[in-house]
Amino acid sequence: MLPVPSPQSPVPNMFWYNGSLIQSQTLELDINDPGLLYGATIFTTLRVYDNSLDSSLTNWQAHCDRLLFSLQAFNWQQPDWKRLRQGAEEMLTQFPVLRITIFPDGREWIIGRFLPENLSDKQHHGVACAVASCALSRSLPSHKTGNYLSAWLAKTTVSENAQEAILVDGAGNWLETSTGNLWGWGDGSWWTPPLEAGILPGISRQQLINSLSHHQQVVHEAAWTQELVQSLEAIAYTNSVVEIIPIHTVYQPTGSLQYNPYHPCFQQLRRLFLA
């Protein structure tokens, strides 16, 4: 195991690839590799809690199941799962966030990163979002593939006043953000877009649905029409890394919508991320 660096020391440039821990910032691929040419990879990004893949909040098995679901759907070769876990164990000694990528031939590639800057501030005070063009729809939305260009473009080309983008369908219904699933509170219950609308089946999304249902809380999976989004009191997005980020403003071509980032409903969701 590598020693954990002190806050003052730089984290070494490192990643895990195809069974080896590599100290470098570059990865060498064949120029004809479909992962390079077409984005032919699948990936999942997880946050390691309690420095353990076995923490219930890390949800290691759910992330492996996500990878397996796509591998089977695409008829790709499965990785060496034992070696994949070995790589994740090595990387988590340095990084709290791991991005695990699988190539069509079963090669595994794991990179690490730190939690986003100002995460606590965003969790408590919320962020602004902007509605993206409907042309920027995700390819194969049920899977996390390496072809993430549309979501990346949506996030990097939105208004400079926005920190996130909201993807929409051809009818203007809100689907998800560029990095997470949408949640809203209105009429005394929770609302989230349905999977059949063409969104990613987020791991945190399913965790929250299961937990809320267990506590007899109603979760409506319904299309986020303009009528619905204007009726909601509070909205947020979730993913496995940031947990819950309230949204206080959404910029639209027709004007902006305002929501309460301090709504007490968020306390209910935050409790579900406590071990």
pLDDT of residue 159: 80
Residue 57 pLDDT > 60:
yes
CA nearest to 272, candidates 204, 182, 221 = 204
Structure tokens that stand for 142 in this block: 């049920």
CA nearest to 169, candidates 195, 193, 135 = 135
pLDDT single digits (tens) 207-229: 999 999 988 899 999 999 999 99
- Percent of the chain past pLDDT 70, that is, above it, reads 95
Residue 14 pLDDT > 60:
yes
pLDDT of residue 12: 61
Q: How many CB atoms lie within 10 A of CB 173?
A: 19
From 5-14, 100-109, 114-123, 247-256, the region with the lowest mean pLDDT: 5-14
- Percent of the chain past pLDDT 90, that is, above it, reads 88
Angle at 123 between CA 184 and CA 9, to 5 degrees: 150
Q: What is the pTM of this model?
A: 0.92
pLDDT of residue 275: 54
The two counts, helices (H) then strands (E), for the chain are 8, 14
Q: What is the mean pLDDT of the segment spanning 247-254?
A: 95
pLDDT of residue 160: 82
**Which CATH topology does 15-113 take?**
D-amino Acid Aminotransferase; Chain A, domain 1 (3.30.470)
What are the domain boundaries of the chain? 15-113, 119-271
Q: Residue 6's pLDDT band (boundaries 50, 70, 90)?
A: very low
Q: What is the mean pLDDT of the segment spanning 58-82?
A: 98
Residue 265 pLDDT > 60:
yes
Q: Residue 272's pLDDT band (boundaries 50, 70, 90)?
A: confident
Residue 196 pLDDT > 50:
yes
3-state secondary structure of 98: strand
Residue 40 pLDDT > 70:
yes
Q: Residue 11's pLDDT band (boundaries 50, 70, 90)?
A: low
pLDDT single digits (tens) 125-160: 999 999 999 999 888 999 999 999 999 999 998 888
Inter-CA distances, 38 with 103, 149, 200, Å: 11, 11, 20
**Which CATH topology does 119-271 take?**
D-amino Acid Aminotransferase; Chain A, domain 2 (3.20.10)
pLDDT of residue 254: 87
* 8 A C-beta contact, residue 154 and residue 132: yes
Q: What value does the mean pLDDT of the chain take? A: 93
